[in-house]
């Protein structure tokens, strides 16, 4: 499916040129080894001169006075300033940010509408607890609820995706009176002691007790998993696996559903509290499930007395392009939805949205959050929702995201180490392998070679997947086709360099 057309939505003042789709040929940006580095698209923003701590002092303080927080790259970037899809380091070098602060900067770094809303609210009131009435809190709750389908109309505001998922687990157990929670292997739902139980990555699990009553079923990965074919995904790009399914059937979906049934029969009680799934895995490597997997999974869970929770921390707010919420791509209606990251364009904010029926059960016990519904967060959240609409960003995700996916798929067909290209809208994964026959993950040192080359040439990528061999591309939703072509050119130049290094 190829999406086309131009954006006609009203755009924020001063940024219409930045956000208009640019119909430029990808060929003009492609880099061959003798043509030099790809040319970065223009930007009319000039960052302020950096006057902060010297780089060496920042590194020293990081080692001595901050907890053990990981950094990206051999020489970590000292980020100084941001502007829409761009970030600038302390030396003024510009980077195309295709990871968006881990899928958090949704409408653009320092978006003018969001920045102005923050300034106005800061001058009026920074904080009051939600035990009082304050207009921005209620304005935001109504605005967010209006974008939710069905009976999903009651909003709980909190501070992070991990906290939102903790609250959702608590809700599910209180409402159903059951205890067991089911999630998917390779999925990520946070690192709090409660939500850690439904996170399927050993890297995040310390050797301490966590997540009692949590059970995981097989990840329905149609590229690397046991089953999968060439027609499984709701994506412009399918996997390279062959498919022998008859029209209207999907053996991969049927087999992964059978694994869910087996998990319920062997690991959980007769009744369960709930089922957690991202509509498309984020940290897990942008894994997409077979069509109708979630639909059948929801039916099975509800038959067991449980509720269905959609973790929209990375997939929400139009990022997938075709729909505002990721679960809508699967034609399902969750009972609880968790939101964070892009909800505040980088401001600490999260939410749980559910039904009045579940809320009545949950409020039997007092739940309180000091900073949930902070006036600053709500003013910013409202501005983010407005910017998504006014800048036509959902449509931009569909147009630019599909273009980027199809261009990356050409590299998959050209290079043996590009195993899979997948995703929807501007949530994209590129899984790297040693070869397409074995599908063994590309070794970490080779991943780093490509990753570092992209950074050195002005493109920032994330990494993820169970084996950290998937490049995660989830930029601010305002990127253009010109930006996408530049990113593909830089990525291809990194693949060429990889070939040259390995062949030596």
Tokens at 164, concatenated: 């939102």
**Residue among 221, 142, 212 nearest 180 (CA):** 212
CA distances from 321 to 36, 266, 328, 478, 501 (A): 34, 38, 11, 12, 37
pLDDT, residue 35, reads: 64
Q: How far is CA 300 from the centre of its chain?
A: 26
pLDDT, residue 453, reads: 97
Is residue 38 within 8 Å of 407, Cβ to Cβ?
Answer: no
pTM of the model: 0.91
Rounded Cα–Cα distance for residues 351 and 236 (Å): 30
Q: pLDDT, tens digit, for every residue of 426-457?
A: 999 999 999 999 999 999 999 999 999 999 99
Q: Which residue has the tokens 């063994």?
A: 440
Report the CATH fold assignment for 16-98+392-503.
3.90.1150
Q: Which residue has the tokens 């992070």?
A: 160
Q: Domain ranges for the chain, please list them.
A: 16-98+392-503
What value does the CA radius of gyration of the chain take, rounded to a whole number of Å?
Answer: 22
Q: 113: how many CB neighbours lie within 10 A of its CB?
A: 20
> How open is the CA angle 228-339-215, to the nearest 5 degrees?
50
DSSP single-letter state for residue 482:
H
pLDDT tens, per residue, the chain with 504 residues: 333 333 333 333 333 333 333 333 333 344 444 567 899 999 999 999 999 999 999 999 999 998 867 889 999 999 999 999 999 999 999 999 999 999 999 999 999 999 999 999 999 999 998 889 999 999 999 999 999 999 999 999 999 999 999 999 999 999 999 999 999 999 999 988 889 999 999 888 888 888 789 999 999 999 999 999 999 999 999 999 999 898 889 999 999 999 999 999 999 999 999 999 999 999 999 999 999 999 999 999 999 999 999 999 999 999 999 999 999 999 999 999 999 999 999 999 999 999 999 999 998 878 888 999 999 999 999 999 999 999 999 999 999 999 999 999 999 999 999 999 999 999 999 999 999 999 999 999 999 999 999 999 999 999 999 999 999 999 999 999 999 999 999 999 999 999 998 877
pLDDT, residue 366, reads: 81
Rounded Cα–Cα distance for residues 198 and 166 (Å): 10
Rounded Cα–Cα distance for residues 367 and 365 (Å): 6
Give, for 446, the enclosing helix (H) or strand (E): helix 444-456
Nearest-10 Cα torsion for 429, 433, 435, 440: -130
pLDDT, residue 276, reads: 98
Rounded Cα–Cα distance for residues 483 and 499 (Å): 25
pLDDT, residue 10, reads: 34
Q: pLDDT, tens digit, for every residue of 147-200?
A: 999 999 999 999 999 999 999 999 999 999 999 999 999 999 998 888 999 999
């Amino acid at each position: 499916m190829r999406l086309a057309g131009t954006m006609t939505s009203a755009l924020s003042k001063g940024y219409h040129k930045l956000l208009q789709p640019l119909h430029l040929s990808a060929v003009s940006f492609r880099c061959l080894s003798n043509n030099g580095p790809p040319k970065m698209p223009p930007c009319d923003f000039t960052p302020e001169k950096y006057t902060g701590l010297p780089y060496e002092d920042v590194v020293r303080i990081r080692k001595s006075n901050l907890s053990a927080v990981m950094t990206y790259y051999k020489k970590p970037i000292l980020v100084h300033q941001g502007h829409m899809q761009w970030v600038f380091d302390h030396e003024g070098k510009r980077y195309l940010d295709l990871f968006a602060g881990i899928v958090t900067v949704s409408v653009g770094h320092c978006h003018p509408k969001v920045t102005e809303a923050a300034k106005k609210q800061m001058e009026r009131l920074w904080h009051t607890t939600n035990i009082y009435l304050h207009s921005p809190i209620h304005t935001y709750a109504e605005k967010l609820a209006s974008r939710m389908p069905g009976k999903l109309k009651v909003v709980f505001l909190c501070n992070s995706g991990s906290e939102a998922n903790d609250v959702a687990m608590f809700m599910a157990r209180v409402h159903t009176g059951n205890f067991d929670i089911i999630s998917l292997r390779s999925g990520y739902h946070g690192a709090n002691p409660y939500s850690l139980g439904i996170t399927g990555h050993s890297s995040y699990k310390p050797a301490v007790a966590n997540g009692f009553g949590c059970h995981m079923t097989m990840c329905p990965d149609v590229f690397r998993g046991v089953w999968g074919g060439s027609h499984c995904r709701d994506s412009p790009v399918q996997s390279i696996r062959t498919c022998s399914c008859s029209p209207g059937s999907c053996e991969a979906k049927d087999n992964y559903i059978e694994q869910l049934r087996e998990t319920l029969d062997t690991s959980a009680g007769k009744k369960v509290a709930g089922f957690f799934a991202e509509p498309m895995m984020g940290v897990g490597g942008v894994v997409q499930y077979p069509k109708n997997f979630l639909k059948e999974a929801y039916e099975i869970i509800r038959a067991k007395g449980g509720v269905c929770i959609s973790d929209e921390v990375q997939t929400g707010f139009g990022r997938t392009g075709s729909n505002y919420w990721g679960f809508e791509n699967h034609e399902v209606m969750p009972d609880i939805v968790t939101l964070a990251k892009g909800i505040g364009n980088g401001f600490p904010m999260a939410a749980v949205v559910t039904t009045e029926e579940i809320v009545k059960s949950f409020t039997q016990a007092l739940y309180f959050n000091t900073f949930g519904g902070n006036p600053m967060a709500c003013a910013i959240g409202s501005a983010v929702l407005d910017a998504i609409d006014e800048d036509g960003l959902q449509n931009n995700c569909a147009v630019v995201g599909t273009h980027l996916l199809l261009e990356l798929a050409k590299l998959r067909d050209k290079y043996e180490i590009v195993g899979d290209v997948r995703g929807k809208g501007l949530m994209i994964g590129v899984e790297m392998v040693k070869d397409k026959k074995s599908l063994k993950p590309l070794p970490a040192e080779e991943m780093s070679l490509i990753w570092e080359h992209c950074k050195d040439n002005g493109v920032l990528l994330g990494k993820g997947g169970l084996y950290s061999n998937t490049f995660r591309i989830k930029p601010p939703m305002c990127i253009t086709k010109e930006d996408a072509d530049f990113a593909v050119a830089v990525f291809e130049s990194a693949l060429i360099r990889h070939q040259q290094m390995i062949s030596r």
